[in-house]
Each structure stands twice: as C-alpha cells, then as structure tokens.
Amino acid sequence: MLELAIGIILGCCALGAGAAMIAGIGPGIGEGNAVAAACEAIGRQPESKSDVTSTMLMGCAVAETTGLYALVIAILLIFVAPRIFVSILMETIGR
C-alpha cells in the first residue's frame, strides 16, 4: 500500500512538471510574433530600427520570463516536491 502511495506521488509530480512545461510553448510563439512584427516595422520605416529593436528585445525578455518560471516549477516538481510529499506521507502514517 505504501509503495502505491509513493508511486502515485511520483506520477503526479511528473505529470505536473510536464503540464508546467507546456507553458514553454507560449513564449516561443509570442517571441516569434514579436520578431516578425519588428521585421515588418523596420522594413516599412528603416530609420526607426533602433527604437523598434530595443522595444522588441524588452518585450522578448519579459515574454521569456514565463518560460523560465515554468522551468523552475518543473524542476521543483521533479526534484524537490516528491521528497517533501513522501516525508509528509511517512509522518501521517507514523513511519
């Protein structure tokens, strides 16, 4: 019974980490759209290249933070959370 409970904990942590990494898709799509729009804007008005480029880089940096947060959550769910949840389980059942 204990092995089943630990297996469920590990499985749920792995599923949670996988679900968290789905958030990595959003920044890739958003940054691709931002770069495409910046290239289009520079093509229309080449003299505004520096303003468009700096704004695009700032937007890409902000968009990338969501992917990094998702990576941190996934790493915590894989390496830290199972140990914590198993220790809580052991305390609960008295072992």
CA distance 9 to 67: 25
- pLDDT single digits (tens) 32-55: 898 999 999 999 999 999 999 999
CATH of 2-93, one of 3.40.50.880, 1.20.20.10, 2.60.40.10, 1.10.3210.10: 1.20.20.10
Stated pTM of the model: 0.75
Return the CA Rg of the chain.
21
C-alpha dist (Å) from residue 84 to 36, 42, 56: 44, 51, 41
Domain boundaries, the chain: 2-93
For 83-95, the pLDDT digits (tens) are 999 999 999 988 7
Distance of alpha carbon 54 from alpha carbon 46, whole angstroms: 14
